[in-house]
Amino acid sequence: DAVALFERLLELRNDLGLLSEEYDPVAKRLLGNFPQAFSHTAIINTAAHLGELETASASRGNDD
């Protein structure tokens, strides 16, 4: 589910809500350029698209 994956990604941010270029799932830490503007742009775009899908679904009367 896209929303669950997006929420998981948000959990990877640091205490200031920032993301780096990469994430090491083994060491569970942010790696690479920090903060990374492209990562934040992707977060904003994804949130907007998920919001649009939720709005469209609600207008059709779907609970998905």
| Residues 16-49 pLDDT 10s | 999 999 999 999 999 998 988 999 999 999 999 9
Domain ranges for the chain, please list them: 2-53
Q: Helices then strands (H, E): number in the chain?
A: 2, 2
Distances (CA, A) of 55 to 8, 44, 61, 63, 64: 21, 16, 10, 11, 11
pLDDT band at residue 55, thresholds of 50, 70 and 90?
A: confident
